[in-house]
Amino acid sequence: MLPRLRIDLTALPPDLTRLFRVAVSDVWLEVGFGGAEHLVHQARLNPVAGLIGCEPFEDGVVKAVVAVADRDLDNIRLHPDDVRPLLRVLPEASLGKVFILFPDPWPKSRHAKRRLVSKLFLDHLARVMRPGAELRIATDIAAYARLVLTAALPHAAFRWTATQASDWRTPWPDWPGTRYEAKALREGRRPMYLTFTRI
């Protein structure tokens, strides 16, 4: 099934809703979907949204393909690779929501350049997200949350929506939970749920 689900970066339609086999009114992106629990949950909960899932690791891609087949989901497409090449070719202002859930924090200083969220990465997201679009980032690593806020708070294209601590301590209403979140809770780390709006 992967050839049917895989996105061809050389032939993207100007209107991303045409990527999907069913009629959708919005397109969302999940970066690094892991075991695909959240990707599948959102696709089932929001049948009129088309979801693009990016994941470079084969095990996660296999889980997503199996879930799509088992549940007969026509509103999921996959990019089984790093998200950055996809971001370079997506049409401007084409995404209504982006999820980055428990990204690898690359905690060692020599690996810092591998961290996903940065000003440059947010620049790429800003180009492909339409005004009013939502960016959700979850992490259980306080240092990574600080990194995200350091990049996002001064960014001209994004506004952090939190007005009180419960806004980032409480999961989103449509949050299904993930195995990464469960591991963090087992190990005594409190996840943070950061929401930004594309201005």
Q: Is 74 a catalytic residue?
A: no
How far is CA 171 from each of CA 100, 157, 161, 176, rounded to the nearest angstrom?
Answer: 14, 24, 14, 9
Tell me which residue of 81, 73, 65, 69 sits closest to 31, measured CA to CA: 81
Residue among 176, 103, 178 at smallest CA distance from 135 = 103
131-144: pLDDT as tens digits: 999 999 999 999 89
Sheet holding 192-198, edge to edge: 76-79, 49-54, 26-31, 95-101, 129-139, 192-198, 158-160
Residue 191 CA, chain-centre distance (Å), reads: 16
- 15, 104, 167, 174: the active-site residue: 104
Q: Is residue 114's pLDDT more than 90? A: no
Backbone angles phi, psi at 18, to 5 degrees: -75, -5
What pLDDT score was predicted for residue 73? 97
Average pLDDT of the chain is 95
Please tell me the distance from the alpha carbon of residue 20 to that of residue 77, in angstroms, as a whole number: 7
Can you list the domains of the chain with their CATH numbers?
2-198 (3.40.50.150)
Over residues 179-194, the mean pLDDT reads 94
If you write DSSP's letter for every residue of 92-112 in order, what string do you get?
Answer: TT-EEEEEEES-----SGGGG
Answer yes or no: is pLDDT of 3 > 80: yes
pLDDT tens-digit readout, 46-90: 999 999 999 999 999 999 999 999 999 999 999 999 999 999 999
Q: How far apart are CA 152 and CA 174, in angstroms?
A: 23
pTM over 0.85: yes
